[in-house]
Amino acid sequence: MRAKRFYLVVRDLHLYFGLFISPFVLVFAVSVFFLVHAWVPFSAGRHGTSRKAAALGLPPDLNRLDGRARIDALRPVLDQLGVAGEIGFVQHERAEHILVIPVVVPGRETTVELDYLPGSATVTPQVTGVAQALIELHKSPGPHLAAIRGNWVMTRVWRWLADATVYLVLFISASGIYLWTVLRAERMTGLVLMTAGAFSFFGLVYALCH
């Protein structure tokens, strides 16, 4: 009786957790094709109209800041410009006293050229498309620029969701193995396939590494 109840609970959790993360699994799976083949369909970015802004309130010593401190100082400036998103690698063109700030939202990249002496900026949005959005989500937040990554609240939320997807995938695969073992008629075929998968996997990894 207890075993039956355990089986039913595991089956329901497998179903509902699986349904919840299925869109996330699709995002990660579909973007694999783009990343593995360096192929971004419909990627001809459409530049929007540039706009200019002046008399911006800038934090003092902005030109001397670097790393996370600079990102934190730039956030209120971007708020004044109405630009939201994850701030990427900022280029500092000292001779022209300009900071070139890429700000990414999945599917859109805005470039802000901030001239910090007069306190003016040019804002150029670019629509990068759904395929690029999937790639960005697949790689976000990722291992690079660790000191500044996650400077936008939605990137931190996505990191949490991506982590949750992994933990739930691990639960679903473990619970799936349990549900399969209950099906006696399928044990042999399943075992053969799992063994074939293990040989393919370890064989390929061995060949790649040696």
Partner 1 sequence: MRSATDIFDLWNRRLHYYLGLYFLFFLWLFAFTGLLLNHPGWAFAEFWPNRRQSSFARPIQPPPAGGDLAQARDLMRQLGVAGEIEWTAARHDATALSFRVSKPGQMFEIRADFGARRAAVQRIDLNTWGVVHILHTFTGVRVNDALNQRDWILTTVWALAMDALALGMVLMVVSSFYMWFRLKAKRRLGAAVLAAGFAACGLFVAGLSLLG
Bridge-partner residues for 46, per DSSP?
Answer: 127
- Verify binding: residue 62, partner 1, rule CB under 8 A: no
| Rounded-to-integer distance, Cα 89 and Cα 87, Å | 7
**C-beta of 199: minimal distance to partner 1 in Å?**
10
- Verify binding: residue 186, partner 1, rule CB under 8 A: yes
| Rounded-to-integer distance, Cα 47 and Cα 110, Å | 9
The tokens describing 182, both together, are 């209950």
What residue spans of 37-66 are helical by DSSP H? Answer: none
**C-beta of 47: minimal distance to partner 1 in Å?**
14
- Verify binding: residue 67, partner 1, rule CB under 8 A: no
Q: Which stretch binds partner 1 (CB under 8 A): 19-27, 47-55, 64-72, 89-97?
A: 19-27
- Verify binding: residue 45, partner 1, rule CB under 8 A: no
Please give the single-letter amino acid code of residue 203: G
For residue 3, the number of C-alpha atoms closer than 13 Å in the C-beta half-sphere is 3
- Verify binding: residue 9, partner 1, rule CB under 8 A: no
Residues 68-127 within binding reach of partner 1 (CB under 8 A): 84-85, 105-108, 127
| Rounded-to-integer distance, Cα 167 and Cα 17, Å | 10
Residues 137-176 within binding reach of partner 1 (CB under 8 A): 137, 141-143, 146, 154, 158-159, 161-163, 166, 169-170, 173, 176
Query: Among residues 6, 15, 41, 2, which one has the least CA distance to residue 176?
Result: 15
C-beta of residue 100 within 8 angstroms of C-beta of residue 111:
yes
Among 6, 47, 68, 189, binds partner 1 (CB under 8 A): 189
Select 21 or 62, whichever has its Cβ closest to partner 1.
Answer: 21
- Verify binding: residue 20, partner 1, rule CB under 8 A: yes
Query: Among residues 7, 43, 10, which one has the least CA distance to residue 131?
Result: 43
- Verify binding: residue 18, partner 1, rule CB under 8 A: yes
Among 6, 8, 22, 51, binds partner 1 (CB under 8 A): 22
- Verify binding: residue 130, partner 1, rule CB under 8 A: yes
3-state helix, strand, coil in the chain (%, to 5): 60, 15, 25
- Verify binding: residue 16, partner 1, rule CB under 8 A: yes
- Verify binding: residue 42, partner 1, rule CB under 8 A: no
